[in-house]
Amino acid sequence: MVSLNVRAYSSSSLDTKTHQRLSYTPHRTTPKLPNTPLPSPPAITTTTFKSDIVISSPKQDVRGTTCMGYETWLPAPPKVDNPRSIYNAASLAFIGDCIYELYARRHFLFPPLNIEEYNDRVMAVVRCEAQDAMLRKLLNDKVLSEEEIDIIRWGKNIGSAAKTRTKKRAGVAVYNRASSFETLIGYLYLTNTKRLQEVMLKLGFVADGPPT
């Protein structure tokens, strides 16, 4: 609990009846003050309010378990017991794309670079060709469970008739596998962030502070 001290003026301390308008004469450069004495300054009261705001400091950094002193760094996902019963594969790919890029941006945060270099490095790993390579690495190394492989198959069925520049450049097969990868990332984000962290570590992304 945090106590906040608030200084406020008491309205009862102002005597509005004794307040008079300042007389004004066009030939004067400043208004003439009235002869009546000015009211005394208002009294100041102090009121203490209780707040439910809890201010916490970051915990001590422990390599491999925290990021910059905090145990978690991703935004908390919505509580969904079975995402497949609520969302379609495109929805999971939508959020998975964002989460994957967040990992990529965090990975290249060290050492400090200019914005153009940041963007170049991140774009190199978030493009669909790189996502396709990431997925093939997970499959070849037999990292994924049967459930996760089933999510990948589900993600390949994302229907998109749009002829985007990316799909034209990489090809439909690569584009679809990249969508499957994003679907898996989105699914793990909603269901098991610890497992998501394990998968991203297998792909070489940093887990805590600056890479060594």
Task: Give one word for 87, left, alpha or beta, with left for phi > 0 and alpha for psi -120 to 50.
Answer: beta
Q: Which fold, 83-202? A: Ribonuclease iii, N-terminal Endonuclease Domain; Chain A (1.10.1520)
In this structure, the number of other CB atoms found within 10 A of the CB of residue 180 comes to: 25
Predicted local distance difference test score (pLDDT) of residue 199 = 96
Distance (Å, whole) CA 191 – CA 211: 27
Which two tokens mark 30?
């400043």
The Cα-based distances of 65 to 62, 78, 103, 129, 194 in angstroms read: 6, 22, 16, 31, 11
Looking at the whole model, is its pTM more than 0.95?
Answer: no
> Per-residue pLDDT for the chain (212 aa), expressed as one digit of tens each?
444 444 444 444 444 444 444 444 444 454 555 555 555 544 544 444 333 333 233 333 333 445 445 456 778 888 888 888 889 999 999 999 999 999 999 999 888 999 999 999 999 999 999 999 999 999 999 999 999 999 999 998 786 655 567 777 878 899 999 999 999 999 999 999 999 999 999 999 986 665 55
Q: What ranges do the domains of the chain cover?
A: 2-51, 83-202
Active site residues: 97
